[in-house]
Copies of this chain bind each other. A is one copy, B any other.
């Protein structure tokens, strides 16, 4: 059998990331001085590309004076948003609409008196932003195991948009043992779920999986975790990290990529692998040509 290199369906940029980057590119044409508050996405290569266009990332909001400011897809805490508004600068809000929706749900449920459980990483910018819309401190857990028993009358459950639905269900079940009312809002982005399922399916049909995305990208790490449970998996950020030895004896090579991984990196990785495994019958220039 010849070597087969396939890309998982629904790999790469999601709707929210595409939108944020388009907003940033548009803004770069209109403004001389422009920054993003924090990296626009968790992908160093994309951040580098934006820098070439004059869009720099600023970590500390206090350093923003008179620059137009892009709010990245993860969103930012309410008080920082309010502070930016007080500066009378142009604000380009590229918060993912699904993330904004989660913030709205959190705000509403919190106002209705629900204690809020969030499935997410407590240090993730999306979760930090979501927290700021709540009236009381939420319970933040990465998984069902982390959720300690306590008694509620009612409780609401939300999720960081890039988390796993199966773990979400486990938390929901556990909450029903703790509370008479459990109000669950599935704020997991469908793109995340679909991407995870496609990754799992491809991993099941592969001898090796290459997961492409920022090493600090939460959703890419989740893809790597899902894949690693099934088959040997390497998580890389770019083509240069690929090692020939990985592919010795492998016949079915699978590739997947996180929501913040630009297409050109996926194409580079694909072509590099094709080069290594010696199959030069195909030459791929854009992601649309890669067989899924």
Residues of A within 8 A of B (CB): 165, 168-169, 172-173, 176, 179-187
Contact = CB atoms under 8 A, between A and B. Distances in A.
6 contacts: A165-B176, A168-B176, A169-B173, A172-B173, A173-B173, A183-B184
A242 to B, nearest CB: 37
A231 to B, nearest CB: 27
A180 B169 contact: no
Contact of A176 (B172, B180, B181): B172
Contacts of A185: 180-181
B180 A181 contact: no
Contacts of A172: 172-173, 176, 182
A181 B183 contact: yes
B186 A180 contact: yes
A49 B181 CA distance: 39
A282 to B, nearest CB: 38
Contact of A181 (B165, B168, B179, B186): B186
Given A172-B173, A172-B182, A183-B183, 10 more contacts: A165-B176, A172-B176, A180-B185, A180-B186, A180-B187, A181-B184, A181-B185, A182-B183, A182-B184, A184-B184
A176 B183 contact: no
A73 B169 CA distance: 34
A113 to B, nearest CB: 14
Contacts of A184: 176, 181-184
Contacts of A179: 186
Contacts of A165: 176
